[in-house]
Structures are given as structure tokens and as C-alpha cells.
Amino acid sequence: AQKITQTQPGMFVQEKEAVTLDCTYDTSDPSYGLFWYKQPSSGEMIFLIYQGSYDQQNATEGRYSLNFQKARKSANLVISASQLGDSAMYFCAMRDIRDSGTYKYIFGTGTRLKVLA
Amino acid sequence: EAGVTQFPSHSVIEKGQTVTLRCDPISGHDNLYWYRRVMGKEIKFLLHFVKESKQDESGMPNNRFLAERTGGTYSTLKVQPAELEDSGVYFCASSPGISGNTIYFGEGSWLTVV
């Protein structure tokens, strides 16, 4: 069965430093997509970054990058130059790409990040 | 452009009562999804509408949950009768089609059953 594991319930990082949020996944499907979402205190789930299982390069979006290690089944999120506004809950998720037409995401339990001034 | 909106944002009800959550997707989005996060656990898929039809309702926990999307616009999720274990955050999301790499979430409806 597909599963996402986030082992860090909470993390602290100093402002302007980089931080890595861990995510490991388990699937037997060759085609899948990996996502990271941010949930600030307002509650909305904000899409951050996507990595396809066949993508050769690690995905990057501004200060966000995804460290994709397929053999280890890990998809860690790296946030560079942390800002106070990065304080939020972060969720790693996986979607089976073959389920075309349905976005049945499998989510991890989340990591709460606190950026310190 | 308005995002996905959910109502109510917070609800506290007694065990045995009924609650109806509403979701207005982004205009023009045919796909509408419901997810739920029970405290301390992962976010779980409940069901998926394509327009007014239920594409996949495999995540619905039991027959106390009823989702509708009349006319293919907004959707409601009714819990009747509510139980303590139904407490959590109910997220709605929408997407325009099968292309693209994300769906757009609302802010969630926090439900507390006491």
C-alpha cells in the first residue's frame, strides 16, 4: 500500500538559514507524483512544489527545492533562507499518476516548522 | 479570482446532532474533492466529484456521511448523526481537469463533536 512518512513532528530554524523537512514514501507503482503543501495558521493548503517519478532533475521553485532520491524513496523539502512567514505546517503527499482523472493524494502527518527571529 | 471557499470555518456540535459543511469550488472547476484530517493523523481522501457525479467515494468512512453536488457547482457534506471520532478538519479542493500538477484547497472546516 502507498504510504508517506514524515518523522519530524516539529522543527525550529533560525531566520535566514536553510532547513530540510524529511519525507519518505512507499509505493510499488512505477509512476507517481510527489508534492509538498504548506498550511499556515489561516488553514489553507498551499501548493509548493511537485516532483514526478520520472523527472531526472530535482524540482525547484524559488526558495523551495525537492531533494528527490528515488532509490531511497525520499523526497525531502529544502527551504533556503528561511523567513518568518515560512512558519507553518508542511505536508508531503503522493499521487498515483495512473489514476488519471482523480487526485487521490496520500498525505503524511505533517511537520510543524517554526522560524525564529 | 476567488479561491475554494468553505463554510462554516468552525463548528461545535453535540454527539448525535447533524452538521452540514459547504464547499464552493473555484469557478469553472469540474473536479471537487473532500479530504479530512483527524487531529494528529494524516489527511485522508474522502471522495471526488466530476461535475455532479461521484467519481470515487472510496474514502467515505460510513453511511453517516453524505456528500452531494447538485448542479455540479457547490458541494455539501452532511454528517448525521455526528460521533466524537468525526472531529477534525474537513478540506475541500477543486481542479479544472486531469491536467496540471495540483489541486486547490480551501481553508478547511474545523468540526468539533462534543
In this complex, the residue of A44, A102, A106 whose CB is nearest that of residue B106 is: A44
Q: State the cell numbers at A107.
A: 498525505
Chain A residues within an 8 Å CB radius of B91: 45
Where residue A97 falls (left for φ over 0; alpha for ψ -120 to 50; beta otherwise) is alpha
Chain A residues within an 8 Å CB radius of B107: 42-44
- Phi, psi torsion values for B85, nearest 5 degrees: -75, -5
Chain A residues within an 8 Å CB radius of B50: 101
A-chain residue closest to B3, CA distance: A44
pLDDT the model gives residue A84: 97
Chain A residues within an 8 Å CB radius of B9: 43
- Distance between A28 CA and the closest CA of chain B, angstroms: 20
Query: Does the pLDDT value for residue A100 go beyond 70?
Result: no
Please answer yes or no on whether A103 and B55 come within 8 Å at the CB atom: no
A38-44 mean pLDDT: 89
Please answer yes or no on whether A104 and B48 come within 8 Å at the CB atom: yes
HSE-up of residue B28 (Cα within 13 Å, Cβ side): 4
pLDDT tens, residue by residue, A80-96: 999 999 999 999 999 87
Query: Does the pLDDT value for residue A98 go beyond 80?
Result: no
**CB distance A115 to A15 below 8 Å:** yes
**What residues of chain B score a pLDDT lower than 50?**
none
Please answer yes or no on whether B98 and A110 come within 8 Å at the CB atom: no
List residues of chain A with CB under 8 Å from any CB of chain B: 4, 33, 35, 37, 42-47, 50, 52, 91, 93, 100-110
Rg of chain B in Å (alpha carbons):
13
What span, in angstroms and rounded, lies between the C-alpha atoms of B114 and B109? 16
3-state secondary structure of B84: helix
Do β-strands A111-116 and A10-14 pair in parallel, antiparallel, or remain unpaired? parallel
The residue type at A99: D
Please answer yes or no on whether B108 and A100 come within 8 Å at the CB atom: no
pLDDT the model gives residue B98: 61
A96-117 mean pLDDT: 84
In terms of Cβ atoms closer than 10 Å to its own Cβ (0-12, 13-18, 19+), residue A71 is exposed
pLDDT the model gives residue A38: 96
HSE-up of residue A92 (Cα within 13 Å, Cβ side): 30
